[in-house]
Amino acid sequence: MSTLEQAVDLDHAIVARRTGPSLNLPALIRRALVYVLLSVAAFVSVFPFLWMIVSATNASPDIVTGKATIGEALLTNVVGFFTQVDAPRIFWNSAFLAIVGTLLTLAVSSLAGYGFEVFRSRFREKIFGGMLLMLSIPFAALMVPLFVMMANLKLINTYAAIILPGIASIFIIFYFRQATKAFPHELRDAARIDGLKEWQIFLHIYLPVMRSTYAAAIIIVFMANWNNYLWPLIVLQTNEQKTITLVIQSLSSAYYPDYGVIMVGTILATLPTLVIFFVLQRRFVEGLLGSVK
């Protein structure tokens, strides 16, 4: 076979390899179905947010009738929201509760998760199993005794009553313990040989290495604290202490709710969580995948 014929055969083989998978009809159908399902899931996820934005530009009667096009009432709705609501106060309340609650939850729960994995004890697994079992108890079953406890401590209508019950989050403790399993034991052993105390190992070695885990936990805890509704509704009793979620609910429960104003408030309430997520998005994915650096 001549060199020219070999080159032609090689070219045909390369073309066949490139075009072969594209002619595989079952594979094409499977890929098309995957893209269709992903497109439907993406639309279902994004549509409520798009509807919220469009509705914020329409008057309340147009929203009730189902108008799905951009209107001209955005400025009126924004002015109405800031007229009816003490926006700086309620956003300060929500931000304070979310930020302080997130910091305290991460501090306590990460220490607990680290301790459960690093320090061995005969009763460690039994205690940890009992904690996980408590996750099956619905919050509705805990509200009354928790409210009585806060009343006895005279913490009703205070920020402390919102923050304290969530500091030791069982889920976050579990999350940090599972993440600590990927923490290199060699680093801790080397630090102990160098004379570091356990708290120094935690602060100077564990924290920098597990920053992706902390980023993911920040998003989870911050969103939970920011969107917290039921417990603040029970504990907070004055308008000065209310959060954005409670204010939006009070707007929607009016005799004639202005849905345009409600949509503006909902958009503003959504922005902080979106900012936190997009800023920490890469770390969030790494943290969920158990990345250790």
Structure tokens at 38: 């992903």
- Residue 145's CB is within 10 A of a number of other CB atoms, namely 9
- Find, among 200, 243, 251, the residue nearest to 98 by Cα: 243
pTM: 0.81
Q: Which of 9-23, 111-125, 178-192 has the lowest mean pLDDT?
A: 9-23
Looking at residue 123, what is its pLDDT?
87
Q: Which of 89-103, 207-221, 237-251, 277-291 has the lowest mean pLDDT?
A: 277-291
Q: What are phi and psi of 125, to 5 degrees?
A: -70, -35
Domain residue ranges of the chain, discontinuous segments joined by +: 3-78, 86-288
pLDDT over 90, % of the chain: 39
The pLDDT mean for the chain works out to 85
- DSSP assignment of the chain, as one string? --HHHHHHHHHHHHHHHHHTGGG-HHHHHHHHHHHHHHHHHHHHHHHHHHHHHHHTTS-HHHHHTT--S--S-HHHHHHHHHHHS-HHHHHHHHHHHHHHHHHHHHHHHHHHHHHHHHS--TTHHHHHHHHHHHTTS-GGGTHHHHHHHHHHTT-TTSHHHHHGGGSS-HHHHHHHHHHHTTS-HHHHHHHHHTT--HHHHIIIIIHHHTHHHHHHHHHHHHHHHHT--HHHHHH--SGGG--HHHHHHHHHTSSS--HHHHHHHHHHHHHHHHHHHHHTHHHHHHHHTT---
Residue listed under structure tokens 């992903």:
38
Structure tokens at 76: 């009126």
**Domain range 86-288, its CATH number among 1.10.3720.10, 3.30.300.20, 3.20.20.80, 1.20.120.1200:** 1.10.3720.10
Measured CA to CA, the distance from residue 251 to residue 262 in angstroms comes to: 7
* Dihedral angle, C-alpha 8, 12, 14, 19, nearest 10 °: 160
Measured CA to CA, the distance from residue 83 to residue 96 in angstroms comes to: 23
Measured CA to CA, the distance from residue 220 to residue 264 in angstroms comes to: 24
Is 246's pLDDT higher than 70? yes
How sure is the predictor about 194, in pLDDT bands with cuts at 50, 70 and 90? confident
Average pLDDT over residues 88-115: 93
Residue listed under structure tokens 């004055």:
238
Question: Tell me: the pLDDT tens digits for 119-161?
Answer: 888 888 898 889 889 888 888 888 999 999 999 999 999 999 9
Average pLDDT over residues 39-63: 90
